[in-house]
Amino acid sequence: MIAFLHGAPVFGMVERYVESIVRAAREREEVLLVFPDTPALEPFSRLRVQVETFPPGRSAVRDCLSLRDLLRGARPRLVHVTDVWPPALVAARLARVPRVLVTHHTPELPRRDNLAGRLWWRLGWATRPEVIYTSEADRVTDGRPRGHVVPLGIDLDRFGSAKPALRQEASLVGHVARLAEQKGQRYLLEAAALVVARRPDTRFVLVGDGELRDELEAQARSLGLGDHVQFTGARADVPELLASFDVFAFPSLFEGFCVAVIEAQAAGVPVVATPVGGIRETVVHGETGLLVPPRDPAALAEAIVRLLDSPDEARRLAGEARRQVRERFSETRMVEETLTLYAREP
């Protein structure tokens, strides 16, 4: 049996990763999936595997002890903690599970912002799990032993054949992400004001929701962007929205592996991004997109205008990026490499 331990109460990129791996693993052996009992994770209940849920918001100690008891009863040969969740790592060791893997998705998140958090962080890593990094840059930065690099992958057909969801009445610059400090949307809006001053026919579409939405909407108003910026909230039709964009802008401040960028590339949209984390492995400046420094609205605006004004260059970059994604970042490849890790002897 393989036991997947998942601690986040929301559904997003990591959860799509879990779905893909679990679907493949269940064809080879028994699977147990443990996750918080929240409406957002209801799709997990339809995966046709054994599931166990727990109340969200419990203390780390209670999570750890209940997971320990569950694993002692289930006796899996392998536990995969699907994102860094220290109580689950400790629980797996207390239950004497033969192999424990953890996927390290994003560096620099504020997971150690209090004494208890720092203590759990140290305890979790002290168990010395095998680490699956989603980018080589993350592995090098983190520097832990027993690390494997398995880049994330996407359903290429879903993004390569979608029809545009938005009418092309203006040049559209798109962005898809949580509305959070990490993603650099403040700088994107500042860049938008610079772009609109030069190209009044340009609109910016920000797809996603998050804790900064009200603040970002207020910023857009204060910049006088008015009808030039649209906040769509979370959307299920991301492939169709991507197919509508002329440029995809992603000014993130830090990343592990950025799925949003390869989704845009798979959709054939030219990308402007920042050279942080795994983005440097998917966007090569002047070959598969354009890179600009983080927190630099002027450089971001200049790169966006460059692609809007140079359709031949935009098509060339987008075409090469799409070819790269099809070769290196398929969901099938990600799943196969992960299952190969599961099959190794402890």
Q: Which of 181, 151, 187 is nearest to 280 (CA)?
A: 151
What average pLDDT does range 123-127 have in this prediction? 94
Asked if residue 181 and residue 127 are part of one domain, the reply reads no
Asked if residue 165 and residue 80 are part of one domain, the reply reads no
Which pLDDT value is given to residue 106? 74
Domain CATH code at residue 234: 3.40.50.2000
Asked if residue 299 and residue 208 are part of one domain, the reply reads yes
pLDDT band at residue 105 using 50, 70 and 90 as cut-offs: confident
Which pLDDT value is given to residue 311? 96
| Beta bridge pairs of residue 171 | 202
Range of the domain at 147: 2-153+331-343
Residues contacting 49, CB < 8 A, separation 6+: 22, 26, 31, 32, 33
pLDDT band at residue 198 using 50, 70 and 90 as cut-offs: very high
Which pLDDT value is given to residue 151? 94
Asked if residue 173 and residue 67 are part of one domain, the reply reads no
Taking only the tens place, the pLDDT of each residue in 143-180 is 676 689 999 999 999 998 888 888 777 899 999 999 99
Asked if residue 235 and residue 115 are part of one domain, the reply reads no
Asked if residue 190 and residue 135 are part of one domain, the reply reads no
Q: Tokens at residue 325, please?
A: 């994604």
pLDDT of 346 higher than 80: no
Tell me if 10 sits within 8 A of 83, measured CB to CB.
no
Taking only the tens place, the pLDDT of each residue in 270-287 is 999 999 989 999 999 999
Q: What are phi and psi of 222, to 5 degrees?
A: -70, -25
The half-sphere exposure of 213 on its side-chain side, counting CA atoms within 13 A, is 13
- Mean pLDDT (the chain) is 93
Q: How many domains does the chain have?
A: 2
Alpha carbon separation from 309 to 139, 220, 313 (Å, rounded): 38, 24, 9
Whether the predicted model's global pTM rises above the 0.75 cut = yes
E strands, 37-176, in order:
50-54, 78-81, 99-104, 130-133, 147-149, 171-176
- Of the two residues 139 and 26, the one the predictor is more confident about is 26
Which pLDDT value is given to residue 246? 97
Asked if residue 210 and residue 323 are part of one domain, the reply reads yes
Asked if residue 213 and residue 298 are part of one domain, the reply reads yes
Asked if residue 82 and residue 121 are part of one domain, the reply reads yes
Q: How far apart are CA 180 and CA 192, in angstroms?
A: 17
Asked if residue 315 and residue 197 are part of one domain, the reply reads yes
Which pLDDT value is given to residue 40? 83
Asked if residue 160 and residue 149 are part of one domain, the reply reads no
pLDDT of 109 higher than 60: no
Asked if residue 312 and residue 169 are part of one domain, the reply reads yes
Taking only the tens place, the pLDDT of each residue in 328-340 is 999 999 999 999 9
Which pLDDT value is given to residue 164? 87
- Of the two residues 263 and 161, the one the predictor is more confident about is 263
Winning range, highest mean pLDDT, from 101-110, 231-240, 316-325: 316-325
